[in-house]
Amino acid sequence: MEPSKQISSEYLDHSSAIAKRPKQGKSNVLNRIFFPYTVWFLFLLIPFIAIGFWPGYWSKIFGDVNFGSVIHIHNWLMMAWVAMSIAQPLLILKKKIQWHRILGKISYVLMPLVLISGYFLIQERYLRRLSGMSERVASGEIEMTSEQIYSSAAASLDLGLVYSLLLAGLYALAIIYRKRILYHATFMFGAILTALGPSVDRIIFQVYSPEGVLMNYVASYATLTFTILLLGALAWYQKRKGNSSIPALITMGAYIGGVFLIEFGSKTTAWQVVVESLFKA
């Protein structure tokens, strides 16, 4: 039997038997898929999100700043998703299989809401960017043609759109392969890693206050580079454990594709056309 199918069989067909074996705790099936203690390292997402969004959101949430309802809705939905993503592997580790399945079904509602709210948040930022640049042109502060304004506004959505696509695509793959635990867990791991970028990138900018193109470039790709290297190491680890490395390589390939889309795709006319068709009011 193929190793990944064997793991799936253990997970789906023998969950009740597993739950009765308390001595198997630390040798859980998750340790044959992920590095040891990966489940616990996911808790680092909480301080990363808190610190990363502190200056721009958390520190002002009860102040006089009017963020609008969209950003509040999206942030609270994302926090629910992150909490659920941390809880899911922990429930498997603790052999709470039934609760894991219940939360999985709740995600069928939660994830569409996260993506829908994310769409409106990106649209709001796109329209605000267009309005802001148009006002600066009208005041004589900058000189740009109408085409350049739209092109610049579209390119500014690169990170937000790419992370949204990665989240949606990897979550969809995780659900499609929900009966094959190796594939399901790896794709879901890739999906939750999308929470690193928006938070850790902000922390990096806070720490060294980048100046110049080079430093901004390094900061923008730091988290994506780390994620790609982590997934490459995971592919090696899974192969070493006798499992297929295909899901980890697919996930790594998706992130690499995201980098190319940010670096090259977002500067094309095709990108601008797609953005305008999706977000232009």
The pLDDT assigned to 14 comes to 39
Mean predicted lDDT score pLDDT of the chain = 85
Q: Record the tokens describing residue 4, joined without a space.
A: 């990944």
Q: What is the mean pLDDT of residues 86-97?
A: 89
From first CA to last CA, the distance across the chain in angstroms is 54
Residue 143: which residues within 8 A CB-CB, separation 6 or more? 137
* Residue 62 φ then ψ, to 5°: -105, 15
The pLDDT assigned to 255 comes to 97
Please count the CA atoms within 13 angstroms of the CA of 148 that sit on its side-chain side. Answer: 7
The pLDDT assigned to 173 comes to 97
- The angle formed by the CA atoms of residues 263, 266 and 270, to the nearest 5 degrees, is 135
Closest CA to 28 of 44, 12, 53, 11: 11
Q: pTM to 2 decimals? A: 0.84
The pLDDT assigned to 264 comes to 93
Closest CA to 43 of 15, 3, 85, 73: 85
* Residue 96 φ then ψ, to 5°: -95, 65
The pLDDT assigned to 94 comes to 85
Share of residues in the chain with pLDDT > 90 (%): 56
Q: What is the mean pLDDT of residues 80-94?
A: 91
Report DSSP letters for 174-213, one per residue: HHHTTTSHHHHHHHHHHHHGGGHHHHHHHHHHHHH---SH
Dump pLDDT digits (tens) for 36-84.
888 889 999 999 998 888 877 777 777 666 677 888 899 999 999 999 9
Residue with token string 């640049």:
133
Dump pLDDT digits (tens) for 212-263.
545 566 667 889 999 999 999 999 999 999 999 999 999 999 999 999 999 9
